[in-house]
Structure formats: C-alpha cells, structure tokens
Structure 1
Amino acid sequence: MGGNNQLRDVFDAIADPTRRRLIRHLAEAEELPLHELTALFPMGRTAVSKHLAVLKEAGLVLDRKVGRETRYRLNAAPLREVKDWLAFYSKFWSTNMLRLSQLMEEEEE
C-alpha cells in the first residue's frame, strides 16, 4: 500500500468490475452525486455505496456533502502504484514478444 494512510490495497479495490466501472464514470465526470452513479448500475443505492466505500478506503474516491447529497470524484493518484507495477511487466512482455517474433522468423527461414 502507499504511504497515504490507505486502509485498503489499491489492487484489491480495482479487482471488482463494478468498481472499475465506477472509476471510469468518475474519470469521465468531474464529480457525480450518488443518485446519478446508482442510476448507471443494475443494483441498489446501498450496493453502489458499498463499492464507493471500498474505493474511498483505497484513496481512489473523494466525497463531499452538498446539503443532503453526497458527491464523489476520482482521486487517480493511487493508480500510479498500478501503473508502475504494470510498467515492469510491460517490459517483460515486450522482450518476450520480440523473442517470439525472432523465433518465428528463424523457423520460417
């Protein structure tokens, strides 16, 4: 986990497809209220709230109260951990794909 007092691992938070969709919707909008987020999913408000709580624990979502409404926005900074982790494997796959390509060329000759 990162050094910003996250209660939940970012990888755990993004493991669920519903939470990844929530992240995408929040990335596309500056801020969305809970009722608008709930309308985007075939589940109730409580279920969406639980997914948002997981994302919030991982530091991926920030919320604020506006009257009786809770509005959510994305905090993409913790996703850097995922990006950095994937970058290592990107190099791995690039190298292996190059080797495979060379092997295929050798077999064709």
Structure 2
Amino acid sequence: MTDERHGAVDSVLVALADPTRRQMLDLLAAHGEATATTLAERLPVSRQAVVKHLAVLDAAGLVSSTRVGREVRYAVRSAALDATAQWMAALAADWDRRLATIKRIAEAAERDSRS
C-alpha cells in the first residue's frame, strides 16, 4: 500500500473513531443529505460542533458539500470508505492465510507425533 493510501485510510479511521461523527454519517446516509443545522437538531451537540465534525469528515473524504443558496448541504462520499474496507479485507485475508498455515503445521506435527 502506498504512503498516500495509508494516509487516506488513517484519516478515515481517525474520523470514524468518534461516535458523533459515526452518528452523523448514519444520519447523512439515511437522509441523503443535510445541513449542519439539520444535523445539529438531531444530535446532542451544538451546530458549531457539528461544523467542526463535518470538517474532519470532509478532510477524510467521507462527506462532500454543496452550496445551495445560503445553505451548505452535506452528503456521504463512499470512495474513502470503500478504500478503507478494501484495506481491512486485505488485512483480514492475510491473517486468514497465516492462521491456515499455522493450522496446517500444527496438524502435521500432531500426525507426525502419532506415527
């Protein structure tokens, strides 16, 4: 994995570490798009806090914003999540291969000890 891709995955994981940001992503996914004001009405934090959280999500590539008149509407962007999910799947597959090797070695040792 390239340093750039590692950085992108790191940003996503940092952004997702906060439960408020995860809840914001859930709300955006459920409603398609929302403003900071709309999100603040549904969360136990101020509008200013929502804006700060949205900035972190935006920097991680998890949301996009569109200005419509005086409003800024936010929506989920899936590309960064997809890249992070692919990294996690590759990591899991690597561990599965390692565990399968350990299992084969242990089973072979057990068979040899019986012989």
Could you say which TM-score interval applies, normalised by the shorter chain? Answer: 0.7 to 0.9
| Letter matched to residue 58 of structure 2 | K
* Residue in structure 1 matching 2:20, options 18, 22, 39: 18
In the superposition, the TM-score normalised over structure 2's length comes to: 0.69
Number of residue pairs aligned between Structure 1 and Structure 2 = 97
Mind listing any 5+ residue stretches in structure 2 that lack a counterpart? 104-115
**Normalised by the size of structure 1, how large is the TM-score?**
0.73
SS at match of 1:49: helix
SS at match of 1:43: coil
Counterpart in the other structure of 1:82: 84
Question: Which consecutive unaligned segments of at least 5 residues does structure 1 have?
Answer: 100-109
CA RMSD of aligned residues (A): 2.6
Consecutive aligned runs of 4 or more in structure 1 exceeding 3 Å deviation = 88-96
Query: Bigger radius of gyration, 1 or 2?
Result: 2
Match in the other structure for 1:105: none
- Residue number in structure 1 paired with 2:110: none
Separation in structure 2 between the aligned mates of residue 68 and residue 83 of structure 1, nearest angstrom: 35
**Which aligned pairs between 1:1-109 and structure 2 lie closer than 5 A?**
1-2=4-5, 9-91=11-93, 92=95
Specify the SS of the correspondent of 2:65: strand
